[in-house]
Amino acid sequence: MLRKAAWIALVVLSSAAMVRGTAVAQSGVVTVNGEAITSRDVEQRAKVSAAVYRRPQTQAQALQELIDDKIKLSEGRRIGLRLTPAGIDEILTRMASGNRQTLAQFEQNLTRAGVDPDALRAKVNADSIWNELLRQRARSGSISNAELNAELERRVAKGDAVVTDYVLRQIIFVVPRDSNPGQREREANAARGRFADCDAGVEFMRSLRDVAVKERVGRISADLPEALNTMLKKTPVGGLTPAFRTEQGVEMLAVCEKKERQDQISLRTKIEQEILQKRVEGSSSAYFNEIRTKAVIVR
């Protein structure tokens, strides 16, 4: 009974809060389930939204988003969901790669723009926890085989079951400390024009300064990020992708083999995930409204 009462929604301006007066005005704006949101949090969230997501926010909008995030994180903790710092860094690394930057470069650019990287980490953490909550809720309802098979048949007829098997070699132009990554990227693209194939071309790359060539690896198009897939589709057998920056340096991929085939198993899995995602999107508002009514919000 006490636990249930503790979750009843409150908006309180108590005499105790009035006594704290000056301290609250300087730091605390709102508490959600006992966790404070400060004026700096609000300022940083607005900067994250504008600089990273290209979505300008007012202070009121940033505050509301932070309140919503605290509610979502509380629900995640209730059922034992937590994202590790390494998991957050992995997401930020993907964001950095999408901008052709390393994680360190990405964070340096954020700092120059007045954005605290930890403020972005906080948003990424809340978004990830919420997405997982929605996925778990969607998975609680079963998907019938008839529904899956009908969609699979339709997609196979469209050619969506076709995948490409690649044999690739990773070529890394190492960027020494205190050197210019842009210069190494230009060197890599210049060498790309002299790459003949996965035999003679690899030997040529090994002869260059500070260049590492990895062993051949097999990859399936269905398992690759869309941007990389597009790049590989445009690269002929025996050719190199354009250079791109990663944590390891400036990289290119040599396409040694590529072969198309049908993979209905992977397509079926993808269809199932898409159906779940539609359910996630459909249940998001209702689920949030449900947990919001249990939140203790003190202004």
Element holding 237 (H helix, E strand): none
pLDDT at residue 242, as a whole number: 93
| pLDDT at residue 256, rounded to an integer | 95
- Tell me the pLDDT band of 278, cut-offs 50, 70 and 90: confident
Q: What is the pLDDT of residues 45-83, one digit of tens each?
A: 999 999 999 999 999 999 999 999 999 999 999 999 999
Residues 234 and 275: their CA atoms lie apart, in Å, by 30
pLDDT of residue 223: 85
* Chain segment 25-38, per-residue pLDDT in tens: 345 689 999 999 99
In angstroms, what CA-CA distances link 185 with 169, 201, 208? 18, 18, 14
The Cα 63–Cα 297 span in angstroms is 12
Q: Give me the mean pLDDT over the 201-206 stretch.
A: 92
DSSP 3-state of 134: helix
- Strand-strand pairing, 28-32 and 217-220: unpaired
Please state, rounded to an integer, the average pLDDT across all residues of the chain.
85
Q: Write the DSSP string, 24-88.
A: HHHTEEEEETTEEEEHHHHHHHHHHHHHTSS----HHHHHHHHHHHHHHHHHHHHTT----HHHH
**pLDDT tens-digit profile of 156-168?**
998 888 899 999 9
Q: What was the pLDDT predicted at 173? A: 94
Q: For residue range 132-154, what is the model confidence (pLDDT) as tens digits?
A: 998 888 776 667 788 888 988 89
